[in-house]
Amino acid sequence: MAKRLFVKGNEAVAMAALEAGCRYYFGYPITPQSDIPEYLSRELPKLGGEFIQAESEIASINMLLGASAAGVRAMTSSSSPGISLKQEGISYMAGSELPGVIVNISRSGPGLGGIDASQADYFQSVKGGGHGGYHIIVLAPASIQEMYDLTMLAFDLADIYRMPAMVLADSVVGQMKEALVANRRPEVDLPAKDWAVRGIGDCEQRVVKSLYLGDGELEAHNWRLHAKYQQLKQKETRWEGFETGDARLLVTAFGSTARIVKTAIMMAREAGLKVGLLRPITLFPFPEKALSDATRLCKKVLDIELNTGQMVEDVRLAVARDAEVYFYGRPPGAGSLPTPEELFEQIKKYY
């Protein structure tokens, strides 16, 4: 029987990074994720790793760029406003095809906002928050176990596809404590990093860059990146179906909202309502096909988010043409986290 630990979400992310072989972390304090740099400042030196509390989130994403270019597994973490600062660096990493893990423990916005849980960074994360038209892998944990397992997955996917990967959580999952089984790092076939800079030695020069000025070069590069994202859609989509088999109303939700939705669904089932939950785990690649399949029979979808309506747009694009999509949102801020009863009322309203 595997040992169960009682761990805070943020620390589960940090533990998983170390288990995944990450020995380089660059970050900056911001509520509600400072536990991550604090944990790693303590543990990385014990493993001979490098921890830097950088001068800003901009500096830390660029340190990540450099370390990743040199071929090592490295990570940075922040929360919404700090993630805004990192967008240019992330665009450069995507354009230079660099792996690396960026953790966003979302807080309320826009601007300084607040520190309460939010899902209003969905657009920023999934639609390419920086310039130039790229995507990053986006994973949305809804439990401490997923904070751990999905962080390890983020490192593997980033290395396999040579692109940045984001763990998109929020202050609820970041700050709560739950049971965790600290799984060993999965055995995965990883490609060799034959593109990483190392000093030419007796070999050819390697350049990590995103500048392409030659005639036709950048267009070709962009199509190549696009093809990579199509591959991701084919192979790496992940989602959870909860009580979806006979559902007449399908709820879509991700992250901590999905936890509250599950309780509401259990209440609904007890009242005889056939309701299910389709919870995307990869927000990019989005589980389009799973939603399209589920709405062949179930024609009503209720999307619930901690924002004024973001993932709902992707839900609308994915469902069968004759499915109806409704939305219920609680934009973030103190006091705005919905109760299961409140969501049960919404389920009844649209059933």
Residues within the interface to another protein (CB under 8 A):
24, 26, 50, 52, 54-56, 58-60, 62-72, 74, 88-89, 92, 96, 197-202, 205-211
Please, which residue, 26 or 327, has the CB nearer to another protein?
26
- Is residue 172 within 8 A of residue 256, CB to CB? The reply is yes
Tell me the β-bridge partners of 32.
none
Token representation of residue 138: 């986006």
Please, which residue, 182 or 197, has the CB nearer to another protein?
197
* Least Å from the CB of residue 201 to another protein: 5
Please, which residue, 100 or 141, has the CB nearer to another protein?
100
* Least Å from the CB of residue 65 to another protein: 6
Instruction: Give the C-alpha separation, 129 to 89, whole Å.
Output: 11
Q: Are strands 100-106 and 50-53 parallel, antiparallel or unpaired?
A: unpaired
Nearest to 19 by CA among 190, 185, 186, 189: 185
* Least Å from the CB of residue 90 to another protein: 10
- Is residue 132 within 8 A of residue 67, CB to CB? The reply is no
Please, which residue, 52 or 298, has the CB nearer to another protein?
52
Cis peptide before 110 (omega within 30 of 0): yes
* Least Å from the CB of residue 210 to another protein: 7
* Least Å from the CB of residue 37 to another protein: 15
* Sign of the torsion formed by the C-alpha atoms of 18, 22, 24 and 25: negative
* Least Å from the CB of residue 181 to another protein: 31
Please, which residue, 69 or 264, has the CB nearer to another protein?
69
Token representation of residue 89: 């660096």
Instruction: Give the C-alpha separation, 243 to 276, whole Å.
Output: 5
Please, which residue, 22 or 147, has the CB nearer to another protein?
22
Token representation of residue 270: 């007890």
Strands, sheet with 275-280, edge to edge from the N-terminal-most edge strand: 239-242, 275-280, 249-252, 300-305, 324-329
